[in-house]
Amino acid sequence: MTDRYHIHGVLPSGEQADLWVEAGKITYEPLAGAQTLATAGWILPGLVDAHCHVGIAAQAATDQTTAEANAKRNLASGVTLVREPGSPLDTHWLDGQPGYPRFIRAGRHIARTARYLRGYANEVDPADLVEAVRTEARAGDGWVKLVGDWIDRDTGDLTAVWPEEIARQAILAAHEEGAQVTAHCFGEDSVAQLVAAGIDCIEHGSGLDESTIKTMAERGTPLVPTLDNLKIFPGLADQAEAKFPIYAAHMRALYDRRHAVFLAAYEAGVPIYAGTDSGGFRAHGTILDEILALATIGGPEFALAAASWRARTWLGALNLEEGAPADLIVTGRNPHQDLTALKELSLVMVAGVLATP
Ligand SMILES: [Zn+2]
Protein backbone atom coordinates (compact mmCIF):
# COMPACT_ATOMS: atom_id res chain seq x y z
CA MET A 1 0.00 0.00 0.00
CA THR A 2 1.28 3.37 -1.00
CA ASP A 3 1.03 6.46 1.09
CA ARG A 4 1.73 8.63 -1.94
CA TYR A 5 -1.37 9.94 -3.63
CA HIS A 6 -2.19 12.26 -6.51
CA ILE A 7 -5.44 14.23 -6.89
CA HIS A 8 -6.37 16.47 -9.80
CA GLY A 9 -9.28 18.82 -9.26
CA VAL A 10 -10.56 22.35 -8.73
CA LEU A 11 -9.42 24.21 -5.62
CA PRO A 12 -11.74 26.60 -3.71
CA SER A 13 -10.01 29.48 -5.56
CA GLY A 14 -11.40 28.07 -8.82
CA GLU A 15 -7.97 27.03 -10.11
CA GLN A 16 -7.37 23.57 -11.53
CA ALA A 17 -4.53 21.92 -9.64
CA ASP A 18 -2.57 18.75 -9.17
CA LEU A 19 -2.05 17.98 -5.53
CA TRP A 20 0.08 15.20 -4.10
CA VAL A 21 0.08 13.62 -0.66
CA GLU A 22 3.09 12.10 1.01
CA ALA A 23 3.56 11.12 4.63
CA GLY A 24 0.22 12.66 5.48
CA LYS A 25 1.05 16.09 4.03
CA ILE A 26 0.03 18.06 0.96
CA THR A 27 2.57 19.03 -1.68
CA TYR A 28 2.28 20.65 -5.09
CA GLU A 29 5.61 19.14 -6.19
CA PRO A 30 4.97 16.06 -8.36
CA LEU A 31 5.72 12.77 -6.60
CA ALA A 32 6.89 9.77 -8.57
CA GLY A 33 4.96 6.55 -8.07
CA ALA A 34 1.92 8.20 -6.52
CA GLN A 35 -1.46 6.54 -6.85
CA THR A 36 -3.98 8.78 -8.65
CA LEU A 37 -7.19 8.94 -6.62
CA ALA A 38 -9.15 11.52 -8.62
CA THR A 39 -8.70 13.15 -12.01
CA ALA A 40 -11.77 15.38 -11.91
CA GLY A 41 -13.74 16.95 -9.12
CA TRP A 42 -13.66 19.72 -6.58
CA ILE A 43 -11.18 19.65 -3.73
CA LEU A 44 -12.11 21.26 -0.41
CA PRO A 45 -10.31 21.47 2.91
CA GLY A 46 -11.94 18.89 5.21
CA LEU A 47 -15.24 20.00 6.70
CA VAL A 48 -15.55 21.23 10.29
CA ASP A 49 -18.43 20.55 12.64
CA ALA A 50 -17.82 23.22 15.26
CA HIS A 51 -20.49 21.92 17.63
CA CYS A 52 -20.72 18.15 17.81
CA HIS A 53 -20.81 15.79 20.80
CA VAL A 54 -19.60 12.29 19.85
CA GLY A 55 -19.52 11.38 23.55
CA ILE A 56 -23.19 12.15 24.25
CA ALA A 57 -26.13 9.80 23.91
CA ALA A 58 -29.71 10.70 24.77
CA GLN A 59 -29.68 11.25 28.56
CA ALA A 60 -26.10 10.09 29.20
CA ALA A 61 -22.54 9.53 28.08
CA THR A 62 -22.03 7.09 25.21
CA ASP A 63 -19.85 4.03 25.54
CA GLN A 64 -16.59 3.93 23.60
CA THR A 65 -17.96 1.83 20.74
CA THR A 66 -20.82 4.25 20.14
CA ALA A 67 -18.48 7.25 20.29
CA GLU A 68 -16.27 5.59 17.66
CA ALA A 69 -19.27 4.91 15.43
CA ASN A 70 -20.41 8.53 15.88
CA ALA A 71 -16.94 9.80 14.95
CA LYS A 72 -16.90 7.64 11.81
CA ARG A 73 -20.35 8.85 10.80
CA ASN A 74 -19.09 12.42 10.99
CA LEU A 75 -16.04 11.54 8.93
CA ALA A 76 -18.17 9.85 6.27
CA SER A 77 -20.08 13.13 5.89
CA GLY A 78 -16.78 14.90 5.14
CA VAL A 79 -16.12 16.25 8.65
CA THR A 80 -12.39 15.86 9.31
CA LEU A 81 -12.35 18.22 12.31
CA VAL A 82 -14.82 18.06 15.19
CA ARG A 83 -15.04 20.72 17.86
CA GLU A 84 -16.69 19.00 20.81
CA PRO A 85 -18.07 21.68 23.15
CA GLY A 86 -18.67 19.51 26.18
CA SER A 87 -18.84 15.78 26.68
CA PRO A 88 -19.30 13.56 29.72
CA LEU A 89 -17.09 10.97 27.99
CA ASP A 90 -13.43 11.85 27.47
CA THR A 91 -12.80 10.85 23.86
CA HIS A 92 -9.06 11.53 23.82
CA TRP A 93 -8.27 7.90 22.95
CA LEU A 94 -9.42 8.76 19.40
CA ASP A 95 -6.61 11.28 18.91
CA GLY A 96 -4.22 10.34 16.14
CA GLN A 97 -6.03 7.10 15.33
CA PRO A 98 -6.10 6.50 11.58
CA GLY A 99 -9.59 6.66 10.12
CA TYR A 100 -11.02 9.16 12.62
CA PRO A 101 -11.53 12.90 12.45
CA ARG A 102 -9.41 15.28 14.47
CA PHE A 103 -10.89 16.75 17.66
CA ILE A 104 -10.76 20.00 19.55
CA ARG A 105 -12.57 19.53 22.85
CA ALA A 106 -13.90 21.31 25.85
CA GLY A 107 -13.95 19.07 28.94
CA ARG A 108 -17.36 18.40 30.44
CA HIS A 109 -20.07 21.03 30.21
CA ILE A 110 -20.06 23.22 33.30
CA ALA A 111 -23.63 23.83 34.46
CA ARG A 112 -25.15 25.42 37.49
CA THR A 113 -26.44 22.75 39.89
CA ALA A 114 -29.76 21.33 38.67
CA ARG A 115 -29.87 23.76 35.71
CA TYR A 116 -29.09 21.41 32.81
CA LEU A 117 -29.87 17.98 31.39
CA ARG A 118 -29.10 15.42 34.05
CA GLY A 119 -25.95 13.32 33.75
CA TYR A 120 -23.93 15.44 31.28
CA ALA A 121 -22.33 18.25 33.16
CA ASN A 122 -19.93 19.13 35.91
CA GLU A 123 -22.61 20.85 38.02
CA VAL A 124 -21.49 23.59 40.40
CA ASP A 125 -22.77 26.60 42.30
CA PRO A 126 -21.50 30.05 41.23
CA ALA A 127 -18.97 30.14 44.10
CA ASP A 128 -17.23 27.09 42.59
CA LEU A 129 -17.33 28.18 38.95
CA VAL A 130 -13.75 29.46 38.73
CA GLU A 131 -12.31 26.21 40.09
CA ALA A 132 -14.53 24.12 37.78
CA VAL A 133 -13.36 26.17 34.80
CA ARG A 134 -9.73 25.48 35.69
CA THR A 135 -10.48 21.74 35.99
CA GLU A 136 -12.26 21.51 32.64
CA ALA A 137 -9.68 23.72 30.91
CA ARG A 138 -7.07 21.11 31.84
CA ALA A 139 -9.32 18.27 30.63
CA GLY A 140 -9.96 19.79 27.21
CA ASP A 141 -8.04 20.92 24.16
CA GLY A 142 -8.18 24.66 24.65
CA TRP A 143 -11.90 25.20 25.23
CA VAL A 144 -14.23 25.37 28.22
CA LYS A 145 -18.01 25.12 27.80
CA LEU A 146 -20.47 26.81 30.12
CA VAL A 147 -24.20 26.27 30.12
CA GLY A 148 -25.19 29.93 30.20
CA ASP A 149 -28.93 29.61 30.63
CA TRP A 150 -31.59 27.03 31.38
CA ILE A 151 -35.11 26.89 32.67
CA ASP A 152 -35.49 28.23 36.20
CA ARG A 153 -38.27 26.13 37.71
CA ASP A 154 -39.00 28.79 40.33
CA THR A 155 -39.72 31.62 37.90
CA GLY A 156 -40.88 29.22 35.17
CA ASP A 157 -38.73 30.95 32.56
CA LEU A 158 -35.44 30.63 30.73
CA THR A 159 -32.88 32.72 32.66
CA ALA A 160 -29.12 33.28 32.86
CA VAL A 161 -27.42 31.09 35.47
CA TRP A 162 -24.07 32.82 36.16
CA PRO A 163 -23.69 36.24 37.78
CA GLU A 164 -21.75 38.44 35.35
CA GLU A 165 -18.87 39.21 37.73
CA ILE A 166 -18.30 35.53 38.51
CA ALA A 167 -18.42 34.72 34.81
CA ARG A 168 -15.78 37.41 34.22
CA GLN A 169 -13.48 35.85 36.82
CA ALA A 170 -14.07 32.39 35.34
CA ILE A 171 -13.21 33.58 31.82
CA LEU A 172 -9.99 35.16 33.12
CA ALA A 173 -9.13 31.90 34.91
CA ALA A 174 -9.66 29.96 31.67
CA HIS A 175 -7.39 32.37 29.82
CA GLU A 176 -4.71 31.84 32.48
CA GLU A 177 -5.04 28.10 31.80
CA GLY A 178 -4.59 28.76 28.07
CA ALA A 179 -8.22 27.99 27.22
CA GLN A 180 -11.04 29.92 25.59
CA VAL A 181 -14.57 29.90 26.91
CA THR A 182 -17.80 29.36 25.04
CA ALA A 183 -21.36 29.05 26.32
CA HIS A 184 -24.72 27.59 25.53
CA CYS A 185 -27.07 30.60 25.36
CA PHE A 186 -30.66 30.34 24.16
CA GLY A 187 -32.11 33.44 25.80
CA GLU A 188 -31.38 37.17 25.88
CA ASP A 189 -29.86 37.84 29.31
CA SER A 190 -27.22 35.08 29.29
CA VAL A 191 -25.64 36.07 26.00
CA ALA A 192 -25.65 39.79 26.86
CA GLN A 193 -23.97 39.16 30.23
CA LEU A 194 -21.42 36.63 28.99
CA VAL A 195 -20.35 38.77 26.04
CA ALA A 196 -20.04 41.70 28.45
CA ALA A 197 -17.92 39.43 30.67
CA GLY A 198 -15.51 38.84 27.76
CA ILE A 199 -16.45 35.37 26.53
CA ASP A 200 -14.60 34.00 23.48
CA CYS A 201 -17.49 32.39 21.56
CA ILE A 202 -21.25 31.84 21.74
CA GLU A 203 -23.17 28.64 20.95
CA HIS A 204 -26.77 29.02 19.66
CA GLY A 205 -27.14 32.76 20.45
CA SER A 206 -30.82 32.89 19.55
CA GLY A 207 -31.35 35.65 22.11
CA LEU A 208 -28.79 38.08 20.68
CA ASP A 209 -29.84 41.72 20.62
CA GLU A 210 -28.50 44.58 18.52
CA SER A 211 -26.06 45.91 21.09
CA THR A 212 -24.52 42.49 21.87
CA ILE A 213 -24.25 41.76 18.15
CA LYS A 214 -22.38 45.05 17.77
CA THR A 215 -19.96 44.13 20.58
CA MET A 216 -19.35 40.67 19.10
CA ALA A 217 -18.73 42.16 15.66
CA GLU A 218 -16.26 44.72 17.06
CA ARG A 219 -14.35 42.06 19.00
CA GLY A 220 -14.66 39.36 16.32
CA THR A 221 -16.35 37.03 18.82
CA PRO A 222 -17.48 33.93 16.91
CA LEU A 223 -21.02 32.54 16.87
CA VAL A 224 -21.95 28.90 16.26
CA PRO A 225 -25.72 29.17 15.89
CA THR A 226 -26.51 25.46 15.31
CA LEU A 227 -29.28 26.96 13.21
CA ASP A 228 -30.79 23.79 11.79
CA ASN A 229 -30.99 22.18 15.23
CA LEU A 230 -32.98 25.11 16.64
CA LYS A 231 -35.94 23.34 15.05
CA ILE A 232 -36.12 21.50 18.40
CA PHE A 233 -37.39 24.72 20.09
CA PRO A 234 -41.11 24.27 19.29
CA GLY A 235 -40.94 20.69 20.60
CA LEU A 236 -39.24 21.86 23.81
CA ALA A 237 -42.00 24.46 24.15
CA ASP A 238 -44.75 21.86 23.64
CA GLN A 239 -43.27 19.55 26.28
CA ALA A 240 -43.02 22.37 28.81
CA GLU A 241 -46.34 24.05 28.02
CA ALA A 242 -48.49 22.57 30.80
CA LYS A 243 -46.08 23.27 33.67
CA PHE A 244 -44.07 26.23 32.33
CA PRO A 245 -46.16 28.31 29.93
CA ILE A 246 -43.88 31.39 30.21
CA TYR A 247 -40.86 29.31 29.23
CA ALA A 248 -42.82 27.74 26.36
CA ALA A 249 -43.84 31.14 24.99
CA HIS A 250 -40.26 32.38 25.37
CA MET A 251 -38.85 29.43 23.39
CA ARG A 252 -41.43 29.95 20.63
CA ALA A 253 -40.57 33.65 20.41
CA LEU A 254 -36.85 32.84 20.16
CA TYR A 255 -37.62 30.28 17.46
CA ASP A 256 -39.70 32.75 15.46
CA ARG A 257 -36.95 35.41 15.61
CA ARG A 258 -34.00 33.16 14.78
CA HIS A 259 -33.55 34.11 11.14
CA ALA A 260 -33.80 37.83 11.80
CA VAL A 261 -31.29 37.54 14.67
CA PHE A 262 -28.69 35.58 12.70
CA LEU A 263 -29.15 37.74 9.62
CA ALA A 264 -28.45 40.80 11.79
CA ALA A 265 -25.33 39.08 13.20
CA TYR A 266 -24.17 38.13 9.70
CA GLU A 267 -24.75 41.62 8.35
CA ALA A 268 -22.92 43.17 11.31
CA GLY A 269 -19.89 40.98 10.54
CA VAL A 270 -20.01 38.53 13.46
CA PRO A 271 -17.94 35.48 12.40
CA ILE A 272 -20.40 32.58 12.05
CA TYR A 273 -19.42 28.90 11.86
CA ALA A 274 -21.24 25.64 11.16
CA GLY A 275 -22.14 23.36 14.04
CA THR A 276 -24.79 20.65 14.09
CA ASP A 277 -25.22 19.96 17.83
CA SER A 278 -25.18 16.26 16.96
CA GLY A 279 -25.18 13.88 19.91
CA GLY A 280 -27.99 13.12 22.25
CA PHE A 281 -31.03 14.21 20.29
CA ARG A 282 -29.56 14.71 16.84
CA ALA A 283 -27.99 12.16 14.50
CA HIS A 284 -24.31 12.40 13.57
CA GLY A 285 -23.18 13.10 10.02
CA THR A 286 -25.65 15.94 9.42
CA ILE A 287 -23.26 18.80 8.60
CA LEU A 288 -24.87 19.31 5.18
CA ASP A 289 -28.19 20.21 6.84
CA GLU A 290 -26.43 22.95 8.82
CA ILE A 291 -24.59 24.20 5.73
CA LEU A 292 -27.91 24.44 3.88
CA ALA A 293 -29.44 26.28 6.85
CA LEU A 294 -26.54 28.78 6.98
CA ALA A 295 -26.90 29.35 3.24
CA THR A 296 -30.33 30.86 3.97
CA ILE A 297 -28.50 33.54 6.01
CA GLY A 298 -25.42 34.35 3.92
CA GLY A 299 -25.60 32.37 0.69
CA PRO A 300 -23.91 29.12 -0.39
CA GLU A 301 -20.26 30.21 -0.49
CA PHE A 302 -20.54 31.80 2.96
CA ALA A 303 -22.08 28.58 4.30
CA LEU A 304 -19.45 26.38 2.68
CA ALA A 305 -16.63 28.51 4.07
CA ALA A 306 -18.30 28.47 7.51
CA ALA A 307 -18.00 24.67 7.47
CA SER A 308 -14.59 24.45 5.80
CA TRP A 309 -11.70 26.84 5.23
CA ARG A 310 -12.96 29.75 7.33
CA ALA A 311 -13.79 27.49 10.30
CA ARG A 312 -10.43 25.73 9.98
CA THR A 313 -8.56 29.00 10.08
CA TRP A 314 -10.53 30.03 13.18
CA LEU A 315 -9.64 26.78 14.94
CA GLY A 316 -5.97 26.94 13.97
CA ALA A 317 -6.07 24.22 11.29
CA LEU A 318 -4.32 24.68 7.95
CA ASN A 319 -6.17 24.41 4.65
CA LEU A 320 -4.73 23.17 1.35
CA GLU A 321 -1.39 24.95 1.45
CA GLU A 322 1.97 23.31 0.74
CA GLY A 323 2.99 21.20 3.73
CA ALA A 324 -0.46 21.23 5.38
CA PRO A 325 -1.80 17.96 6.81
CA ALA A 326 -3.79 16.23 4.04
CA ASP A 327 -7.26 16.71 5.51
CA LEU A 328 -9.52 17.13 2.51
CA ILE A 329 -12.58 16.01 0.63
CA VAL A 330 -13.35 15.71 -3.08
CA THR A 331 -16.78 16.05 -4.65
CA GLY A 332 -17.79 14.95 -8.13
CA ARG A 333 -20.07 17.95 -8.70
CA ASN A 334 -19.33 21.61 -8.03
CA PRO A 335 -20.25 22.37 -4.38
CA HIS A 336 -19.73 26.11 -4.97
CA GLN A 337 -22.69 26.03 -7.37
CA ASP A 338 -24.77 23.41 -5.62
CA LEU A 339 -24.19 22.55 -1.96
CA THR A 340 -25.95 19.20 -2.37
CA ALA A 341 -22.77 18.08 -4.19
CA LEU A 342 -21.60 17.37 -0.61
CA LYS A 343 -24.05 14.47 -0.46
CA GLU A 344 -21.82 12.35 -2.68
CA LEU A 345 -18.17 12.61 -1.70
CA SER A 346 -15.60 11.00 -4.00
CA LEU A 347 -13.12 10.82 -1.17
CA VAL A 348 -12.44 11.86 2.39
CA MET A 349 -8.90 12.00 3.77
CA VAL A 350 -7.46 12.78 7.20
CA ALA A 351 -3.70 13.05 7.66
CA GLY A 352 -3.25 11.42 4.27
CA VAL A 353 -5.30 8.38 5.29
CA LEU A 354 -8.36 7.58 3.17
CA ALA A 355 -11.55 7.18 5.15
CA THR A 356 -13.19 3.87 4.44
CA PRO A 357 -16.89 4.34 3.70
ZN1 LIG B 1 -24.45 21.11 22.23
Domain boundary among 314, 330, 346: 314
Lowest pLDDT segment from 2-16, 52-66, 132-146, 217-231:
52-66
Q: In the prediction, which pLDDT does 7 show?
A: 98
Both 106 and 14 in one domain: the answer is: no
233 vs 110, 206, 250, 258, 331, CA distance in Å? 22, 10, 10, 11, 33
Ligand 1 centroid – CA 221 distance (Å) = 18
Ligand 1 centroid – CA 218 distance (Å) = 26
Q: Dihedral sign for Cα 127, 130, 134, 139, please.
A: positive
Ligand 1 centroid – CA 339 distance (Å) = 24
Both 87 and 61 in one domain: the answer is: yes
Say yes or no to pLDDT of 81 above 90. Answer: yes
Ligand 1 centroid – CA 2 distance (Å) = 39
Ligand 1 centroid – CA 310 distance (Å) = 21
CATH number at residue 159: 3.20.20.140
Reported as a single tens digit per residue, the pLDDT across 323-346 is: 999 999 999 999 999 999 999 999
> Helix, strand, or coil here: 281?
coil
Both 19 and 104 in one domain: the answer is: no
Overall number of domains in the chain? 2
Ligand 1 centroid – CA 9 distance (Å) = 35
Length of the chain: 357
Q: In the prediction, which pLDDT does 357 show?
A: 57
Q: Dihedral sign for Cα 161, 311, 336, 44, please.
A: negative
| Rounded distance between C-alpha atoms, residue 5 and residue 1, angstroms | 11
Both 28 and 86 in one domain: the answer is: no
Say yes or no to pLDDT of 280 above 90. Answer: no
Ligand 1 centroid – CA 247 distance (Å) = 20
Reported as a single tens digit per residue, the pLDDT across 104-131 is: 999 999 999 998 988 889 999 999 999 9
Q: In the prediction, which pLDDT does 57 show?
A: 81
Both 281 and 161 in one domain: the answer is: yes
Ligand 1 centroid – CA 211 distance (Å) = 25
Say yes or no to pLDDT of 242 above 90. Answer: yes
Say yes or no to pLDDT of 59 above 80. Answer: no
Both 25 and 99 in one domain: the answer is: no
CATH number at residue 30: 2.30.40.10
Q: In the prediction, which pLDDT does 2 show?
A: 54
Q: In the prediction, which pLDDT does 118 show?
A: 84
Q: In the prediction, which pLDDT does 110 show?
A: 98
> Helix, strand, or coil here: 111?
strand
Both 190 and 281 in one domain: the answer is: yes
Both 30 and 116 in one domain: the answer is: no
**Where do the DSSP E strands lie in 165-302?**
180-185, 201-204, 223-224, 278-280
Both 272 and 245 in one domain: the answer is: yes
Q: In the prediction, which pLDDT does 3 show?
A: 82
Give percent of the chain with pLDDT exceeding 90.
94
Which residue range is the domain that position 274 belongs to? 47-314
Say yes or no to pLDDT of 58 above 70. Answer: yes
